[in-house]
Amino acid sequence: MLTRLKVSGFKNLVDVDVRFGPFTCVAGANGVGKSNLFDAIRFLSALADRPLIEAALSVRDESGKTGDVRSLFLRVGDRYAEQMSFEAEMIVPYEGVDDLGQKAKATITFLRYSVILAYKADESLRSLGTLELLKEELVHINISQAPKHLLFLNNVKTWYKSVVKGQRRGAPFISTEGKGIDRVIKLHQDGGSSGRALSRSAVNLPRTVLSVTNAAESPTALLARREMQSWRLLQLEPSSLRHSSEFIAPTKLGTDGSHLASTLYHLAGHTKNHQSVGQSDEVEAAEARVYARIANRLAELIEDVDEVWIDRDDRRELLTLMVTDRDGTSHPARALSDGTMRFLALAVLELDSEAQGVLCLEEPENGIHPERIPKMIELLQDIATDVEEEIGFDNPLRQVIVNTHSPAVVSQVRDDSLLVAELKETVSSNQRFKRVCFSCLSGTWRVKAASDFSGTVEGRFQASEEVSVVPKGKLLAYLNPVVPQASEYDDNGEAASYQRSKERSSKKRRVADREDLQPYIPGFPSELL
């Protein structure tokens, strides 16, 4: 789980410092750079898995494809930034396995990873250049200080104790020492100062040290690597979602939505020897419950849904997702709309307890009728971990970050989940340029907790952090009315949905529920104010 990200020198991200909760919605106009935040997360994930140059080439530039790694650096006029830096605070899994299947347990699960990269000309790759690793570091965050970093918790201890574990003293897990050609990056064993550090020359290092860690050398570093590898951008393509799955297809949903049928089939408890082994009533009931949960979710979007199931074609060895309406007519996935397929994929993902890490999703409202957008938002929030419950099979350590420019989405998300991306003019080296800034709403945990934190010794030490609050005027474009449906009025004519919103705790309120913003909503019923 990514709890905080600092980025500078990457595209138009300059001195960006963003704190994330379990669910975060980033709103902003096209072209301001909200997708660049996703690219930074993807780039960090790639750095934990691939060589530097491959990680760079996996991230898109403005044209949609990176042809020159310099396109990843901040550009002001004709000049590029000399380096780019990243710092990520994260909660990592307590247990995992390395590439050879060896088990690992983390010494401590709350970590901070930082890396600084510079552009380096490469004679063998004249058009591309390459990246040079200037600094890499992985350090622990003391358990005693963790609550001051997890500002979204609001004194919720059950979830906190189930994810923040272990202790560490002394040396970091990864450190950088020396300068120039004498620069080395050290991987310290989990034993701390009692273990011997493994040193690697940073000159011409083709990949990060984190990307080659294993359970034997440093279990905690390995689990940090596993966490970062799980950060994904979901780009659900309708064509991929509609495809039938072969019997031997993966049972995990692809980033493009592929393998949807096989994933649901696997979650329902089916096995390859389905025909040769008789199923007990208990197993059949469990399978039926899985399909029923998906059908109930989809029925929130489409009222005519009666059943969701998987058709197993033994002759062609194919699995096809089917939806049956209330008239008894069954429709294959290829006959369903784009929005329906995306909603189905997310409903299946919500059921998959093994799908963990950070899930980034661009414009989740695409293909969804405005009246059904609240149900989409509710589903996305349910996918994210519930910080009021202990982490477990029914509550995996999973995080959702979405971006949007839809007023309907912005008005429906909880106010403490919203960040607004906007361009701000900055002067550097006597040149003006625009950088993206991420602002939160007043009165939310980012403002309140940061204000409380500033009074501590550590807070004064970190006084450089500034919390940007979005002006109310900037929200006007997002405050289109959400007109209550006739069924949402009670017998006295008052909007029942609005009445319920008043009864919610402030922690659960939507942007549209804020009394200080409702006067700005065009057409909002004055009698409800």
Q: Which of 336, 355, 374 is the last residue of a domain?
A: 355
Residue 451: predicted pLDDT: 64
What is the pLDDT of the chain when averaged over all its residues?
85
pLDDT > 90 in the chain, percent: 57
Which residues does 465 contact at the CB level (< 8 Å), separation at least 6? 17, 450
Could you tell me if 454 and 33 are in contact, meaning their C-beta atoms sit under 8 angstroms apart? no
Based on the fold, state whether residues 72 and 189 are members of the same structural domain.
yes
The tokens describing 19, both together, are 């704190």
Which residues does 20 contact at the CB level (< 8 Å), separation at least 6? 2, 3, 4, 5, 399, 401
Could you tell me if 261 and 253 are in contact, meaning their C-beta atoms sit under 8 angstroms apart? no
Q: How far apart are CA 280 and CA 285, in angstroms?
A: 9
Tell whether 361 is covered by a domain.
Answer: no
Average pLDDT over residues 492-497: 47
Tell whether 436 is covered by a domain.
Answer: no
Based on the fold, state whether residues 146 and 15 are members of the same structural domain.
yes
Note the Cα 368 to chain centre separation in Å.
Answer: 21
- Give the CA distances from residue 83 to residues 14, 170, 204, 425, in Å, rounded to whole numbers and listed in that order: 11, 29, 16, 21
Tell whether 220 is covered by a domain.
Answer: yes
Condensed to tens digits (0 to 9), the pLDDT of residues 383-427 reads 999 998 999 989 999 999 999 999 989 989 999 999 999 998 887
Residue 270: predicted pLDDT: 63
Supply the range of the domain harboring residue 510. 479-529
Based on the fold, state whether residues 324 and 271 are members of the same structural domain.
yes
Based on the fold, state whether residues 43 and 189 are members of the same structural domain.
yes
Could you tell me if 125 and 388 are in contact, meaning their C-beta atoms sit under 8 angstroms apart? no
The number of distinct structural domains making up the chain is 3
274: pLDDT confidence band, cut at 50, 70 and 90? very low
3-state secondary structure of 227: helix
Count other C-beta atoms under 10 Å from residue 404's C-beta: 24
Based on the fold, state whether residues 319 and 342 are members of the same structural domain.
yes
Q: Report the CATH number that the domain containing residue 274 is assigned in CATH.
A: 3.40.50
The tokens describing 50, both together, are 């691939």
Condensed to tens digits (0 to 9), the pLDDT of residues 440-474 reads 999 899 987 666 555 443 443 343 457 889 888 78
Identify which of 415, 398, 322, 308 has the alpha carbon closest to the alpha carbon of residue 361.
Answer: 398
Based on the fold, state whether residues 212 and 240 are members of the same structural domain.
no
Count other C-beta atoms under 10 Å from residue 203's C-beta: 12
525: pLDDT confidence band, cut at 50, 70 and 90? low
Could you tell me if 337 and 349 are in contact, meaning their C-beta atoms sit under 8 angstroms apart? no
Note the Cα 450 to chain centre separation in Å.
Answer: 22
- Indicate if the pLDDT at residue 299 is higher than 80: yes
Based on the fold, state whether residues 258 and 397 are members of the same structural domain.
no
